[in-house]
Structure 1
Amino acid sequence: MKQIFVIGIGAGDPDQLTLQAVRAIGRTEVFFLLDKGEEKADLVALREEILRQHAVRPHRVVVARDPERDRDRTTPGYANAVDDWRRRRADIYERLIAGELPDDGCGAFLVWGDPALYDSTLGILEEVHGRGSAAFEWTVVPGVSSVSSLAAKHRTGLNQVGRPVQITTGRRLADGGLPDGVDDVVVMLDAHQTFGRFTGQGLEIYWGAYLGTPDEILLSGPLDDALALRISDVRARARARKGWIMDTYLLRRGVPT
């Protein structure tokens, strides 16, 4: 039967690959990459560099165009747009697995960070498998997430002693605010810099963009208006320069002693 690896490759630094990931890459015959357009060509280039270093057996790289999607989470019908995008992505995965991988072959998808955290690959593969048109088994290889990388780069922990940490999205943070009883909140997928709503509340912020890559940017400190504006400005200039941005941040409030 066809075998598929879903390999977490870290937040961008090739040195973040685990030994398990290196072994899985070494077993793979066909790598499936999704092209997100010229603006994000360096994302494909980073994957190709990982393969150059670790793909030790003869292999092929099959590139397909990633379907466009509405990324504005504030628009009506956003959930339906995401469902439609996932179906179209499933169609692509189904075609790749059925048409590009021999019956006893081994293929792989290289996933940024960890496949279990805010990534659609596992859910889409489950949908494709459920369709029954392409028989395959799949194995998930965990990776270093941007959350772990963020904490390491700032030399801090994700939680304070004996306290919980919550991972959420910018949209959820904007809708619900800081959760009660949680003093450390990691925020991902925040295109609108929601942290700016929480200045003057005694919070600290640890922010990072392009984590693990040569373009990495790190900023941290007490979250006042000046720092919020600085992060927004740095973020906007970086996005204008590269055409895309991936950033993550940790909001922290002190625990009363």
Structure 2
Amino acid sequence: MSDDRRHLLLIGIGAGDPQQLTLQAIDALNRTDVFFMLDKGQGKDELLHFREAICRRHIAPDHDYRIVTLPNPPRPQVPYGAQKDDAYRAIVAEWHHRRSAMLADAIQDSFLPGQTGAFLVWGDPSLYDSTIRIVNKLSSTTTLNLSIDLIPGISSVQMLCALHRIPLNQIGESVLITTGRKLQQLIDEDEYQLPATTVVMLDGNSVFQHIQRDDLMLYWGANLGTEHQALISGPLKEVTPRALAGREEVKTKAGWVMDVFILIRQKLL
């Protein structure tokens, strides 16, 4: 019985180290006919080259595959600190719509029913990545007839904990995973409480520098798993200048920076 569906894989590839791929991810690479890779423009070429290097390293020499490179539609920016949730969601929804339309055309044109295509997703596809939402919208498109499988990957949060040798959760305490934008909104309130552990991602403005607390430890990392990896930890007020300088140094050397940090209340360590 012939398979008339197009198979689409979302493969988590870790935070930047090719050795972090799971055996399941490597198996998925070796049954993919077409890889879709988004080109995010000048200054982020390394992100594209890393995905290409993963294919060369982990795919068997006798397996034929193609790479289709697509321009990543830029997302309109809202001034930091001036974002309102409704406005922000509208901007993201419009951006997702443009990406979805582009990907639908690419899938239609690039591989046939019965074949397999894949996206190599940085970190883990479930954590602050839009690919799942976009692809799920495409799954309802009857002309594409997609089946979708998700391959989990090692996230930057997992890697940061491993590199700093810390547990993510404190005994009997909760963990908050949020963005720099949302944490800034929390800080702007007159009185705010942070849980025992706060993980912050997608923070382009180093929001930790605005926190005036004496009881927090900062565990920070940038470009994890790459040659430009940087790590800093210590009491928040003490190490904040080093983290800010480290971020700029990584960005200068690599041409791009992706950082993540964890705040932990000291009395719980």
TM range (shorter): over 0.9
* Among candidates 208, 215, 220, match of residue 195 of structure 1: 208
Aligned to 2:260: 248
Contact (CA 8 Å) 2:170, 2:268: kept in 1 or not?
Answer: no
**How is 1:210-249 mapped onto 2 (pairs within 5 angstroms)?**
210-224=223-237, 226-249=238-261
Q: Secondary structure at the match of 1:38?
A: coil
Contact (CA 8 Å) 1:183, 1:255: kept in 2 or not?
Answer: no
Aligned to 1:148: 158
Tell me, which stretches of 5 or more residues in structure 2 are unaligned? none
* Structure 1 outlier segments of 4+, above 6 Å: none
The alpha-carbon deviation at position 38 of structure 1 amounts to 2.1
Aligned to 1:122: 132
Aligned to 2:71: 65
Q: How many residues are treated as equivalent by the alignment?
A: 256
Q: Secondary structure at the match of 2:140?
A: helix
The alpha-carbon deviation at position 75 of structure 1 amounts to 4.5
**Which AA in structure 2 matches 1:93?**
L
Distance in 2, Cα, partners of 1:200 & 1:55? 49
Distance in 2, Cα, partners of 1:94 & 1:45? 24
**Which AA in structure 2 matches 1:13?**
D
Distance in 1, Cα, partners of 2:268 & 2:31? 52
**Which AA in structure 1 matches 2:26?**
V
Task: Select between 84-93 and 190-199 the one with higher mean Cα deviation.
Answer: 190-199
Distance in 2, Cα, partners of 1:105 & 1:45? 24
The alpha-carbon deviation at position 74 of structure 1 amounts to 3.6
Q: Secondary structure at the match of 2:129?
A: coil
**How is 1:32-181 mapped onto 2 (pairs within 5 angstroms)?**
32-56=36-60, 57-72=63-78, 73-76=80-83, 77-177=87-187, 180=193
Cα pair distance change 1:256/1:66, threshold 3 Å: closer
Tell me, which stretches of 5 or more residues in structure 1 are unaligned? none
1:54-106 CA distances to partner (integer Å, 9 max, x unpaired)? 12211000001000112445445333221111111101110111110111101
Distance in 2, Cα, partners of 1:140 & 1:256? 36
Distance in 2, Cα, partners of 1:75 & 1:174? 11
**Which AA in structure 2 matches 1:139?**
D
The alpha-carbon deviation at position 231 of structure 1 amounts to 1.1
1:195-230 CA distances to partner (integer Å, 9 max, x unpaired)? 112244211000000011111000000011x42122
Distance in 1, Cα, partners of 2:186 & 2:241? 22
The alpha-carbon deviation at position 40 of structure 1 amounts to 0.6
Cα pair distance change 1:150/1:36, threshold 3 Å: same
Distance in 1, Cα, partners of 2:181 & 2:71? 27
Task: Select between 122-131 and 204-213 the one with higher mean Cα deviation.
Answer: 122-131
